[in-house]
Amino acid sequence: MPSKLTYVGLILLLIGVVFLVVGEVNLGNVKSVEVGLQDTVWNYAQNLTSGRTYWIDIRSSDDWGKLFGDGTFTSAMPVNVTITSPTGSVTALQAYYLGLETTNPLYKLGTPPTVVDVVYQNVDEAAMRVEVPSSEIRFIARQSGLYNVSVIQDGFWSKYPPDQIIYYEEVAPNRDAYSILAFGGGVLGTLGGATSVASLFRNPGPKHKATRK
d(CA 171, CA 35): 11
Which DSSP category does 163 fall into? S
Q: What's the predicted TM-score (pTM) here? A: 0.69
- Interatomic CA distance for residues 113 and 98, integer angstroms: 5
Decide if 212 is inside a domain.
no
From CA 140, how far away is CA 21, in angstroms rounded? 24
Together in a domain, 160 and 124: yes
In a domain, 134, yes or no: yes
So what's the pLDDT on residue 171? 84
Question: Do 85 and 164 belong to one domain?
Answer: yes
Residue 182 confidence (pLDDT): 44
Residue 208 included in any domain: no
User: Among residues 117, 112, 203, 127, which one has the least CA distance to residue 163?
Assistant: 112
66: in domain = yes
Same domain, 45 and 134: yes
pLDDT of residue 2: 57
The verdict on 38 and 113 lying in the same domain is yes
Q: How many domains does the chain have?
A: 2
Residue 210 lies in a domain: no
Give the pLDDT means over successive 10-residue stretches in the chain (213 positions). 57 57 54 94 98 95 91 94 97 96 78 93 96 93 98 95 96 55 53 58 55 52
CATH code of the domain in which 124 resides: 2.60.120
Residue numbers of the domain that contains 186: 1-29+173-203
* pLDDT at residue 27 in the model: 46
Structure letter (DSSP) for residue 132: S
The pLDDT value recorded for residue 48 is 98
Q: Are residues 64 and 116 in the same domain?
A: yes
Examine the domain organization and report whether 111 and 199 are in the same domain. no
DSSP characters over 181-211: HHHHHHHHHHHHHHHHHHHHHH------PPP
Q: 121 and 17, same structural domain?
A: no
pLDDT for residue 23: 46
Indicate whether 52 and 154 sit together in one domain.
Answer: yes
pLDDT score recorded for residue 90? 97
